Amino acid sequence: MNPKYRLYYPRWYRKRIPIFWWLQKRSHAAFMGRELTAVFVAYAAIMLMVLVLAMDRGQAAFAEMMDWLGTPAVVVAHVLVLCILLFHTITWLNLAPMAIVVKLGDRKVPAAAVLIGHYAAWVACTGVVAWLLIWR
Amino acid sequence: MAETLTKPETVTLEVFRYRPELESEPTFDSFEVPYHPEWMILDALNYIKDDLDGSLSYRWACRMGVCGSCGMLANGQPVLTCATYLESLLPGPIRIEPLEGFPVIRDLVGDIGDFMGKLSEVKAWLIRDEEKPVEEGEYLQTPSQLDDYKQYSMCINCMLCYSACPIYRLEPEFIGPAAIALAQRYNMDSRDEGAEQRMDVLSQHHGIWDCTLVGECTEVCPKNVDPAGAIQRYKVSATLDYFKSLLMPGSSS
Amino acid sequence: MRRSREPIIWALFGGGGMASALFMPVLILVLFIAMPLGWVQGVQGAPFAELQALVRHPLTRLGLFVFISLCWFHWAHRFRYTLYDGLQLSHLNELVAVMTYGIAIAGTVVGAVLLWGVG
């Protein structure tokens, strides 16, 4: 029956959903936390752009930005941001086997293989970027 | 042999009551039920109805976890009452409420008409362009083809997943976990030819796209159907299908 | 019944989620923690010039642009649903969609201007 017809059954009891329903259960709060990591992804994107801008303005501007980034409060803040983004990475990669189910011929690729493949990709990407930024 | 753990004589059940002919708001009634280590919640409810309060209303049937009738909340968790030991919820009191997401008609009985309608909407049956005549024999399927959809065929329509899904509570028009898992059960069945028809329903905004992968549905499913997985896989295949039709107009999936 | 156009933005969300999951932690660690703290060269002298050359390389510009844009659309889609579910604003659905995707488009444009408009 279409939910819109519920109006015509006034004696049925419908519980109201509180705005902060997601604070009432730990798993729901964790879910909301996971979704809010996207805000920090946007923050990181903005900061990358600011860094590129500073870099384009020359060494002095870049050094100034690095100095600001090096102040204790900012370092602590970015360590927190790093932890939040790691939470995003880990929850995202852990959900990959749920969405990606492939068959090779007659056999399903085991979920563990999909998971390990994703983590291996993460290690590889981390390695490449680190090498490019530090040693190249 | 001395008993090292003393088991209680009785357990208290706090049961949600809603009697629209008497009151406009629900209440909780407290019942003292004898404790037996082999009793399920359903046994306690049956004891209440038989010996304490015959007016208690609730659904149950097979009492062995295959019919999907007896889903309720025990201490806030959606469970099959015929498959949950009282022992696991000691020391009590144990709070029994109807499943969330469904309007309550009376006591522990919710209206599930919405779900039944959605089962029809997703066309949860085999669809073929042309039926094979009986003389040509059965449709054959390899074990591998059965494996493709078997997990999703285990659904007993108990609706614990709908109770667990916060999105369904917020958006009652959302098609919901079990309906999508059952649609997938038929989409992935090699005998079925109705994937295109189901996609029309599932690609609507209140089809799969309301889902934000909370994942509670898979956690509570008593049959390990993994509806969350079914939904995510459908998002991927619907997206691939969409781009295929964009890039190659006229090709059918 | 017309099918929703959600697959396009879901693909962007998925791409952004995967890209940010794979690349953001190391970028934050190196550029915003290790370099400012001096654990890694990149501020004084020759290493800065190399870093600048790396960023100005056309492939880097393109990669960064795609990456930034995907991150914006990932945020937009996820935040949109967070507003629907967390604050029960789904009745404002057009407004929320325009706001979130609008910001994502703006972020993408700013990214393009910064990466190709300077230097």
Q: Do B233 and A9 touch (CB under 8 A)?
A: no
Report chain A residues whose CB lies below 8 A from the CB of B104: 12-14
Report, as an integer, the average pLDDT of A94-108: 90
Contact A2 B117 (CB under 8 A): yes
Quote the Cα angle for C36-C38-C40, to 5°.
100
Instruction: Return left, alpha or beta for B126; rule: phi > 0 is left, psi -120 to 50 is alpha, else beta.
Output: beta
CB A44 within 8 A of CB A78: no
Contact check, Cβ <8 Å, A62/C68: no
Q: Is residue C2 in a domain?
A: no
Listed in order, the ranges of chain B carrying CATH 1.10.1060.10 are 113-247
Half-sphere exposure of residue C85: CA atoms within 13 angstroms, side-chain side: 27
Cross-chain residue pair A22–C85, CB shorter than 8 Å? yes
In a domain, C1, yes or no: no
pLDDT of res. B4: 46
Query: Taking CB atoms and an 8 Å limit, are C3 and B201 in contact across chains?
Result: no
pLDDT at A4: 65
Burial grade of A125 (CB within 10 A; 0-12, 13-18, 19 or more): middle
User: For residue C17, is it within any domain?
Assistant: yes
Asked if B224 has any chain A CB less than 8 Å from its own CB, the reply is no
Domain spanning B113-247: CATH superfamily: Alpha-helical ferredoxin (1.10.1060.10)
pLDDT value at B108 more than 90: yes
pLDDT tens for residues B34-60?
999 999 999 999 999 999 999 999 999
Q: What is the CATH number of the domain that holds C18?
A: 1.20.1300.10
Alpha-carbon span C110 to C116, nearest angstrom:
10
3-state secondary structure labels for all residues of chain C = CCCCCHHHHHHHHHHHHHHHHHHHHHHHHHHHHHCCCCCCCCCCCHHHHHHHHHHHCHHHHHHHHHHHHHHHHHHHHHHHHHHHHHCCCHHHHHHHHHHHHHHHHHHHHHHHHHHHHCC
Per-residue confidence at B1, pLDDT binned at 50, 70, 90?
A: very low
Assess B8–A contact: CB distance below 8 Å, yes or no.
Answer: no
Q: Is CATH 3.10.20.30 the classification given to domain B10-105?
A: yes
Q: For chain B, say whether A16 makes contact (Cβ under 8 Å).
A: no
C93 vs C107, residue with greater confidence: C107
Please indicate if any CB of chain B lies within 8 Å of the CB of A100. Answer: yes
* Inter-chain CB proximity B214 and A28 less than 8 Å: yes
In the stretch 24-53 of chain C, residues with CB closer than 8 A to chain A read 24-33, 35-38, 40-44, 48, 50-52
Provide, as residue numbers in chain C, all residues whose Cβ is less than 8 Å from the Cβ of B204. Answer: 1, 3-4
pTM: 0.91
Instruction: Tell me if chain B has a CB within 8 Å of the CB of A92.
Output: no
Token pair for residue B88? Answer: 């696991």
Q: A13 and B144 in contact by Cβ < 8 A?
A: no
Residue B250 pLDDT: 64
Residue contact B117–A1, C-beta within 8 A: yes
| Contact of C27 with A47, CB cutoff 8 Å | no
CATH of A21-96, one of 3.40.50.720, 3.40.50.2000, 3.40.190.10, 1.20.1300.10: 1.20.1300.10
Q: How would residue B7 be classed by pLDDT, with cut points 50, 70 and 90? A: confident
For chain C, the average pLDDT equals: 87
Across chain B, mean pLDDT equals: 92
Mean per-residue pLDDT for A63-77? 93
The pLDDT value given to residue B208: 93
Over range B61-74, report the average pLDDT. Answer: 96
Domain edges within chain A: 21-96, 100-136
Q: Can you give the residue range of the structural domain that contains C105?
A: 11-36+43-117
Q: How high is the pLDDT of residue C116?
A: 82
Please, is B20 exposed, middle or buried when counting C-beta atoms within 10 Å of its C-beta (0-12, 13-18, 19+)? middle
Number of Cβ within 10 Å of residue B147's Cβ equals 15
In A57-134, where does DSSP find H-type helix? Answer: 59-70, 72-99, 111-134
Q: What is the pLDDT of residues C42-96, one digit of tens each?
A: 544 456 778 888 888 889 999 999 999 999 999 999 999 999 999 888 888 889 9
pLDDT for A2: 61
The pLDDT of residue A3: 62
> Quick check: B163 and B217 in contact, CB under 8 A?
no
Question: C55 CB near a chain A CB, below 8 Å?
Answer: yes
Sign of CA dihedral A118, A121, A127, A128: negative
- Cα–Cα distance between A135 and A132 in angstroms, integer? 6
SS (H, E, C) B88-140: HHCCCCEEEECCCCCCEEECCEECCHHHHHHHHHCCCCCCCCCCCCHHHCCCC
Q: Which of B61, B62, B46 is nearest to B96 (CA)?
A: B46
Question: B91 at the A interface (CB within 8 A)?
Answer: no
Instruction: Tell me what ipTM this predicted complex has.
Output: 0.90
* Residue C6 domain flag: no
**Does C108 contact A at CB distance below 8 Å?**
no
At B251, the pLDDT band (50, 70, 90 cuts) reads low
| Higher per-residue pLDDT: A7 or C43 | A7
Select the residue of B104, B147, B232 nearest A98 (Cβ to Cβ): B232
- C98 belongs to a structural domain: yes
Domain with CATH 3.10.20.30 in chain B: 10-105
